[in-house]
Structure 1
Amino acid sequence: MGLRVFLTGVAIATAAIPAAAAAPNASIEGRWQTEARDAVVEIAPCGQSLCGRIVRFLKPPPGGIDQRDVKNPDAKLRGRRLLGLSVLTGFARDGDEWRGRIYDPKSGKDYRSVLETHGSRLTVKGCIGPFCKSQSWTRAG
C-alpha cells in the first residue's frame, strides 16, 4: 500500500509539472492594478490583438475623475478623458511574452512594451531601444 501512495504522489506531481511550466504563458487578459496603485487597467481583445484601457482610478489624478490627456504631444488628443483611455495597444503573443505599445499619460510618451505573467503578477516593461524599465502590476478583483 505504501508503494501505491508513493506512485499516486508521483503521478500527481508529474501532472502538475506542465501546469507550472505553463504559468508564464497565462493569459494577460483581465483587470490589473498598476504598480503605483493609482488605477486599474483592463486588458481585453481589440481586433486581432489585445489592448488595455483605464477602467478605474484608485487615486484620482490631479485634474480629478474627469482628467484629460493634457500631456499628449498631439494637441488634437488632449481633450480625451483618461478614464477609458487605451494605454496598452496592439499586444500579440510572442512565445512567453506579449509585445505591443504602452502610453504613459503622465508624461505623454509612447513606448515599445513587453508584458509577461507570473501568477497573479504582470511584468510591464516600457522600452526605448535596448533599455527597458519594468513595473509589476497585480491582478485586481
Structure 2
Amino acid sequence: MIRIAKAACVAAVFGLASQMALAGSAAGLWKTIDDETHQAKALVQINEGPNGELSGKVIKLYQHPDAVCDKCDGANKDKPVNGMQILWGLKKDGEEWSDGKILDPKSGKIYTSGAKLIEDGKKLRVRGYIGPFFRSQVWERQQ
C-alpha cells in the first residue's frame, strides 16, 4: 500500500512539473481564433529552435482547407496555406517573445510580431505590428 502511495506521489510531482514546463514554453499546437468572427481558423504548430527562437506552421485550416496565398509575394505566392510557415524569428525577451515576423495569408502581408503566454500557458496572445499600430489574436493551446 505504501508503494502505491509513493508511486502516486511521484506521478503527481512529474505531472505537475510537466504542466509547469508546458506553461513556460509557447512550443506546441495552437488553435487560432479569428479576431473579427471569433471562429476557429487554423491549427498552428509552434516549435522552438535550438537557439530558442519560435517558428510556426499551419497544419490544418478549418474554414477553407484548400486556401492558397494568392496575395503573397515571393516563394509563398499561390502556395497552399496549409503547411505554410506563418511565424518565425521570435526571440525570448523576459516573459515574452519579440522581434519576429508573422505572415497574414489573407492579405499576404508580413508584420513584425510578438507573443506572450497568458492564462497559465493555456492561451497565447499573438500580435502583429506596423510601427505603433498592432492587431492581436488570442490562440488556444490544444492537447
TM-score (norm 2): 0.72
Pick one of 50, 53, 68 that aligns with 2:54: 50
C-alpha distance in 2 between matches for 1:45 and 1:97: 13
CA contact (8 A) 2:42 2:58 kept: yes
Q: Which residue of 2 aligns with 1:92?
A: 91
Q: Which residue of 1 aligns with 2:42?
A: 39
C-alpha distance in 2 between matches for 1:57 and 1:47: 28
Aligned pair count? Answer: 115
One-letter code of the match for 1:26? G
C-alpha distance in 2 between matches for 1:35 and 1:115: 15
Following superposition, the deviation at residue 57 of structure 1 comes to 1.5
* Largest Rg, 1 or 2: 1
C-alpha distance in 1 between matches for 2:87 and 2:73: 17
Following superposition, the deviation at residue 46 of structure 1 comes to 4.1
C-alpha distance in 2 between matches for 1:57 and 1:92: 26
Q: Which residue of 1 aligns with 2:114?
A: 114
One-letter code of the match for 2:30? W
CA contact (8 A) 2:56 2:86 kept: yes
**Which of structure 1's runs of 4+ aligned residues deviate more than 4 A?**
none
Over the residues paired in the alignment, what is the CA RMSD in angstroms?
2.1
Q: Which runs of 5+ in 1 are unaligned?
A: 1-18
TM-score (norm 1): 0.73
CA contact (8 A) 2:55 2:88 kept: yes
C-alpha distance in 2 between matches for 1:105 and 1:134: 15
Output one character per residue of 1:37-74: Cα deviation in whole Å (capped at 9) or x when no partner: 11010100346322000011222x2xxx3332211033
What fraction of aligned residue pairs are identical, expressed as a percent? 36
Following superposition, the deviation at residue 133 of structure 1 comes to 1.3
Q: Which residue of 1 aligns with 2:67?
A: 67
Following superposition, the deviation at residue 112 of structure 1 comes to 0.5
